[in-house]
Amino acid sequence: MNKRAGNHSIIYALCKVFTIFILCFSLAACATVPLTERKSLSLISDSELVSLSNDQYAKVLKESKLSTDQEEVQMVTRVGKRIATAAEGFLKESGAGDKIKNYKWQFNVIEDDKTVNAWCMPGGKVAVYTGILPVTKNETGLAVVLGHEVAHAIAEHGNERMSQALVAQLGGVALSAALANQPAETTQLFMAAYGVTANVGALLPYSRLHESEADRIGLTLMAKAGYDPHEAVRFWQAMSAQGGSRPPTLLSTHPAPESRIEKIKSYIPEAMRYYKK
């Protein structure tokens, strides 16, 4: 064998080993989205995300003005608990019952009438801004929002977006290393990944897929919690009407056009199988 042929053999062998390594890494770093069965990138452990979530949630609450309207607070807590119970049941039915231990649910109302938004961090840390309550109008409308946001959490969309960001923007380093070396940038990515901020940068192209999955799973969650999924059509029509030149935060990265509402309508029969008044 001549030297050139030998080099080619070595390169081929290295490429083969590298390909196998990448394949194994990809399989090991995959999670399965409940209901849709889509494989998603998941490079961050649940414990790391929950720890970061606890810290950031406490910081948001400290820096925000919480609502003192007991009627609002009690409604959000009441609907939230029903959605949370439905989510845990859904995880069990989806074969992901081991994930339930990560959730210590908290529901808080932030007094900010100009912000039409809500979000759910890992571990079930939820915030609802008072600006969205005139759009939800009632408990069932609120269940649409909370079902949608909790769906993002149990589908681990935030983990996927953070994983993508760690690869694309921070060179693929581990979360712990990113927090140690670039704490401000990493925290900003985390907050954006969970919808706490509107500026999601390079993560934007992935948002429509996540929104479609959250719409579908969210309808199932609200149905399991005893809320009529048909209300989702009215809510998203109302949200779309809120648009204009500055759309609500909840729509800032993923507008709700007619096509989205038509998709939601197509998901309703699936969700209605779980609905009991």
Indicate which residue of 139, 149, 258, 262 is catalytic. 149
**CA 135 – CA 239 distance, rounded (Å):** 7
149 is catalytic: yes
Q: Under 8 Å CB-to-CB from 161, ≥6 apart: which residues?
A: 192, 193, 200, 203, 206, 210
Number of C-beta neighbours around residue 96 at 10 A? 15
Residue type for position 240: S
User: Taking each helix axis from N to C terminus, what angle separates 207-224 and 157-168, rounded to the nearest 10 degrees?
Assistant: 160
Q: Under 8 Å CB-to-CB from 37, ≥6 apart: which residues?
A: none
Phi-psi sector, 95: left (phi>0), alpha (psi -120 to 50), beta: left
Torsions phi, psi for 8 (to 5 deg): -60, -40
DSSP strand pairing (118-121 vs 125-129) = antiparallel
**CA 275 – CA 11 distance, rounded (Å):** 59
**CA 51 – CA 76 distance, rounded (Å):** 24
DSSP strand pairing (118-121 vs 106-110) = unpaired
At residue 259's C-alpha, the angle toward residues 257 and 262, to 5°, is 115
Residues with active-site annotation: 149
